[in-house]
Structure 1
Amino acid sequence: MKNVIIGLLLFCATMSFGQVSLVDQRPKLVVGIVVDQMRYDYLTRYYDKFGDDGFKRLMNDGFNCENAHFNYIPTYTAVGHSAIYTGSTPSVNGIIGNNWYDKSAKKSIYCVDDENYTTVGGDSGGNKSPVRLLTTTVTDELQLTQMKGGKVISISLKDRSAILPGGHMANAAYWFENKFITSTYYMSELPKWVESFNKKDFAQKYLKGKWETLYPIKQYTESIADDNEFEQPYNGQEKPVFPYDLRSLQEANGGNNMIKATPFGNSILIDFAKAAIESEKLGKNNVTDFLAISFSSPDYIGHQFGVDSKEVEDTYIRLDKELGDFLRFLDKQIGDNYTLFLTADHAAVQVPAYLSSLKIPSGYINSAEFKKEVEDFCKTRFGSDHLIEDFSNFQIFLNKEELKRLKLDQNEVSQILADFVIEFNWVLRVVDAKNLQNNLYQDRLMQFLKNGCNQKLSGDVMLIPKPATISHARKGTTHGSGFTYDTHVPILFYGKGIKKGKSRRFIPIVDIAPTISNLLKISYPNGNEGDVIEEALK
Structure 2
Amino acid sequence: MKNRFLVRYSFIAFSVVLFVAISCKPTGFSQLWVEGYQRSARPDIDIFLVPKKYALLQTKKATDTYSLARFDKKQLESELSHYSRSIQDLQSSDTAEYKEDGDTVSMKVGRVTHSTAYDYDTEIPLAFFGKWFDANKHNQVVYQQEIAPTLASLMGVSMPETAKLGSLNTKQLKQSNGSLQMPDIVVVAVIDQGGRNLLKLHSEVAPNIHSLIEKSDQYAKAKVGHLDAHTAVGHAAIGTGAFPMDNSIISNTYYWIERQNGQSKLASRAIYAGKDESKVDSSEMTALTLADQLNRAYNGKSVIVSQSYALRAAIGMGGHGALNLPAESQAAIRNSNFIYWLDSNSSHWITDSRYYSVPSVARASDPLLQFTKYYPTGFAGYQIRDRASAKKNWGTLMATAAEAELEGELIRAVIQSEIIAKNKDKDGVPDLVYVSFKSADAVGHKFGYQSLEAKETLATIDEQIGKLIDFLKENYNDRFVLVLTADHGSVPLSEITGGLRLSIEEVINQIDSLLPADVTKNHSLVKMMTVAQISLNHDLMQEYGITDRQVAQKIMDITVNNQKFFAGVLTRQDLNLKPDKK
TM-score norm. by structure 1 comes to 0.62
Identity %: 24
String of CA shifts for 1:428-470, please: whole Å, max 9, x gaps.
Answer: 111222332439xxxxxxxxxxxxxx9689xxxxxxxxxxxxx
Change (3 A) 1:107 1:423: closer
Contact in 1 for aligned 2:512/2:520 (Cα 8 Å): no
- RMSD across aligned positions (CA): 3.4
Query: Counterpart in 2 of 1:299?
Result: 441
User: Which consecutive residues of structure 2, in runs of 5 or more, have no partner in the other structure?
Assistant: 1-173, 258-265, 322-332, 559-563
Query: Counterpart in 2 of 1:396?
Result: 534
Residue of structure 1 aligned with 2:549, choices 394, 415, 426:
415
Query: Counterpart in 1 of 2:566?
Result: 427
In the TM superposition, residue 405 of structure 1 has moved relative to its aligned partner by 4.0
1:315 is aligned to 2:457: yes
Contact in 2 for aligned 1:284/1:334 (Cα 8 Å): no
Instruction: After superposing the two structures, state which structure 1 stretch, 74-83 or 397-406, moved more.
Output: 397-406
String of CA shifts for 1:320-351, please: whole Å, max 9, x gaps.
Answer: 11111111111111111110111111111011
Contact in 1 for aligned 2:556/2:566 (Cα 8 Å): yes
1:82 is aligned to 2:236: yes
Query: Counterpart in 2 of 1:210?
Result: 375
CA distance in 1, matches of 2:432, 2:581: 32
Residue of structure 2 aligned with 1:36, choices 182, 192, 206:
192
Query: Counterpart in 1 of 2:221?
Result: 67
Contact in 2 for aligned 1:78/1:98 (Cα 8 Å): yes
Change (3 A) 1:284 1:256: farther
Which residues of 2 match residues 47-446 of structure 1 at below 5 A? 47-51=203-207, 54-100=208-254, 108-113=268-273, 125-169=277-321, 171-177=337-343, 178-187=347-356, 190=358, 192-195=360-363, 197-198=364-365, 201=366, 203-210=368-375, 240=380, 252-254=389-391, 257=394, 259-282=397-420, 283-356=425-498, 362-379=499-516, 386=523, 388-390=525-527, 392-393=529-530, 394-406=532-544, 408=545, 413-424=547-558, 425-438=564-577
Contact in 2 for aligned 1:143/1:150 (Cα 8 Å): yes
Contact in 1 for aligned 2:310/2:342 (Cα 8 Å): yes
Secondary structure in structure 1 of the residue aligned to 2:547: helix
In the TM superposition, residue 285 of structure 1 has moved relative to its aligned partner by 2.0
Secondary structure in structure 1 of the residue aligned to 2:469: helix
Contact in 1 for aligned 2:409/2:464 (Cα 8 Å): no
Secondary structure in structure 2 of the residue aligned to 1:346: coil
String of CA shifts for 1:179-218, please: whole Å, max 9, x gaps.
Answer: 111112325x7554444x34xx464144234389xxxxxx
Change (3 A) 1:43 1:351: closer
TM-score norm. by structure 2 comes to 0.58
Contact in 2 for aligned 1:388/1:396 (Cα 8 Å): no
Secondary structure in structure 1 of the residue aligned to 2:299: coil
Secondary structure in structure 2 of the residue aligned to 1:435: coil
In the TM superposition, residue 316 of structure 1 has moved relative to its aligned partner by 1.0
CA distance in 1, matches of 2:393, 2:477: 35
CA distance in 1, matches of 2:244, 2:256: 15
Contact in 1 for aligned 2:525/2:541 (Cα 8 Å): no
- Bigger relative CO (Cα 8 Å, ≥ 6 apart): 1
The residue identity in structure 2 corresponding to 1:157 is Y
The residue identity in structure 2 corresponding to 1:269 is E
Secondary structure in structure 1 of the residue aligned to 2:194: coil
* Aligned positions, number: 373
In the TM superposition, residue 142 of structure 1 has moved relative to its aligned partner by 2.4
Contact in 2 for aligned 1:210/1:247 (Cα 8 Å): no
1:22 is aligned to 2:179: yes
Change (3 A) 1:304 1:387: closer
Change (3 A) 1:174 1:385: closer
Change (3 A) 1:193 1:20: farther
Contact in 1 for aligned 2:303/2:419 (Cα 8 Å): no
Change (3 A) 1:367 1:148: same
Query: Counterpart in 2 of 1:461?
Result: none
CA distance in 1, matches of 2:540, 2:514: 15
User: Which consecutive residues of structure 1, in runs of 5 or more, have no partner in the other structure?
Assistant: 1-16, 116-123, 213-233, 357-361, 440-453, 458-538
CA distance in 2, matches of 1:327, 1:261: 24
In the TM superposition, residue 426 of structure 1 has moved relative to its aligned partner by 0.6
Query: Counterpart in 2 of 1:470?
Result: none
CA distance in 2, matches of 1:43, 1:373: 39
CA distance in 1, matches of 2:446, 2:215: 33
CA distance in 1, matches of 2:400, 2:311: 18
Change (3 A) 1:19 1:332: closer
